[in-house]
Amino acid sequence: MTCDAKEAICSAVGLSVLMGIALWGCSKAEPYLPPDPFYYFASYPVGKNPTTITTGDLNHDSFTDLITTNISSNTVSILLGNGDGTFKDQMQLHVCQEPRALAMNDFNEDGHADVALACSGGDEVALLLGRGNGKFEEGARYPVHRSPVSLAAEDVNGDHHIDLAVALRNDKVKVFLGTGKGELRHR
């Protein structure tokens, strides 16, 4: 391959360079490895075996916060953002049996982010109602009679209240309709 061909590859690859493709420069015998854009990362401890993570503003400071489900410790971990890409140490909240997945939305329409949990060990869905300061209070629990594995929270029936769709391990989806008061009813 000629030097001109190598430079053309360098130009054509563009963003792929950031994904770790090795390119040979004209004056070097060794491949050129660009700096890894994910090299400078931080790691934060959470509960045992985190299975789901989502982002939102849990304390109304306009910074992105994180929340994980931790299936083996029956907890969720809340990491409040500092606004600079870093996070405070986790706050763990003991919740239901084997929280596998979560969905965030405002189920009681108070302006604070709430969380629905798929509790696969208890065959139920649990609500955590946000206080607006990064903390939650336990809401209602709803049996689903088969291990829930995933959730989606959105207004599915057009009544302007957040509803909850729950994927179950028996190849079914159960839909709960929201009341706007932090409660759900089975459709």
21/57 same-domain check: no
Query: Which residue's entry shows tokens 């329409």?
Result: 109
130/159 same-domain check: yes
Q: Is residue 22 part of a domain?
A: yes
**CA 161, CA 177: separation in Å to the nearest integer?**
8
120/55 same-domain check: yes
2-6, 13-17, 149-153: which has the minimum mean pLDDT? 13-17
11/94 same-domain check: no
**Amino acid at position 140, single letter:** A
Q: Please report the pLDDT score of residue 39 as a whole number.
A: 62
11 three-class SS: helix
Q: Is residue 38 part of a domain?
A: no
22-31, 54-63, 132-141: which has the minimum mean pLDDT? 22-31
Q: What is the DSSP letter of 14?
A: G
- The enclosing H or E element of 185 equals strand 184-186
DSSP secondary structure string for all residues of 91-156:
EEEE-SSSEEEEEEE-TT-SSS-EEEEEETTTTEEEEEEE-SSS-EEEEEEEE-SS-EEEEEEE-S
Q: Is residue 43 part of a domain?
A: no
pLDDT of 166 over the 50 cut = yes
138/54 same-domain check: yes
> By the 8 A CB rule, do 116 and 137 touch?
no
Length of the chain: 187
103/24 same-domain check: no
Q: Is residue 37 part of a domain?
A: no
12/62 same-domain check: no
183: pLDDT confidence band, cut at 50, 70 and 90?
very high
CB atoms within 10 A of CB 127: 23
Q: Is residue 42 part of a domain?
A: no
How many domains does the chain fold into? Answer: 2
Q: Please report the pLDDT score of residue 11 as a whole number.
A: 35
Q: What is the mean pLDDT of the chain?
A: 85
User: Which residues constitute the domain of residue 27?
Assistant: 3-32
Over residues 47-74, the mean pLDDT reads: 98
